[in-house]
Each structure stands twice: as C-alpha cells, then as structure tokens.
Amino acid sequence: MAEVFVFGQVRGASGFPQRSLFCTWEAIHGAGWRLLRGAGDGRTHVDAPAPDHDVTWAHPLDMHFAVQSMQGWPKLGFKVYHQDDFGRNELYGYGVCHIPMSPGSHTLECACCQPSTSGIESFYQSLVGGSLQLKSDDAVHTQVDRFKLKTKTMGTVHVQLNIVTRGFEAYGIEM
C-alpha cells in the first residue's frame, strides 16, 4: 500500500478585518485514503498581534496516510474565527486548499471567504452582530456546491507543508 506523509504548520493569517483570530482545520480525503497516524483535525490558539502585524499561529500538522486510490487526494479545510473581548467567537471565513501531490516543501496561501447576505439580512447582521454560517461544511469542500454560494473575500491562511511519498512506484505511479 502506498503512503503519504504530510507535516508542517499552519503558520498564520493575514488580510482579515480584525485581529484576535483562531482557526479550526480538518483534513478532508476520499474513501481510498486512511489516516494511520496523527491528527486529522485541530484548533489553533487565539493570536491578537499588534497593529500592522500578521496573525501567527505556528500550529503543527503531522499526518500519515495509507493510500489505495489516487482519487480523493486530501485537502485542508479551514474555518477562521474572531474572538471578541467577551470571549464570543464569530466566524470570519471558510477556506479550502489542496495538499500538493508532489513530494517536497510547499508554501500554500489559502484564500478564505464568508457567506454574504443582501438587503434586510445584512441590516439585521449589522445591528445584532454575528455572521452567517453554513449548515454543512460540504458546500465549501465540494466544487459543485461551492459555486452556488454568494460570498465575500475575508483574508488568507498561510500554510507550510512538507510532503513525503512512499510505495507509489509499486503501483506504476511516478511522483
């Protein structure tokens, strides 16, 4: 069975309208993939940097996958939250980026967006606060559903990954 090792870090974020951010992440993969070791999801700490500085999380990632099929290559799904002074968490954006297929060191920039409203809903949102959330994250992860969403750009999550593959040659796949 072929194997893929993914390790690195969620470095931080930039371009979001507020500081005091944290994010949750998850590895999304197909049925032909199995996580053997490591965490398939996690949460960073809250970072509130000084003005004109990017958010820094340096949150470690370490996953070891067994691969039966090239279909369903893993991707990372992110949800970025803002935590206010009262400890309330407001969703600031969703992001998805594909884990690179080629071995080596990779720097990823994962653009995040937030569902947007129009008309009376945005007026209510400005009065009461909060943000829209999707009922299911699948709408962000699947291409068909994602194009139906009306969104606005929020910021970028920065990821540094190292990819190591093993055993693909036995199946006639050159990496």
Question: Residue 70's domain is classified under what CATH number?
Answer: 2.60.40.150
Q: Which domain holds residue 109?
A: 2-171
So what's the pLDDT on residue 35? 98
Instruction: Give the residue ranges of the chain where pLDDT is below 50.
Output: none
So what's the pLDDT on residue 97? 96
Number of domains in the chain: 1
So what's the pLDDT on residue 170? 86
So what's the pLDDT on residue 57? 98
So what's the pLDDT on residue 20? 94
So what's the pLDDT on residue 121? 66
Output the pTM of the full model: 0.86
Cα-trace Rg, the chain: 18
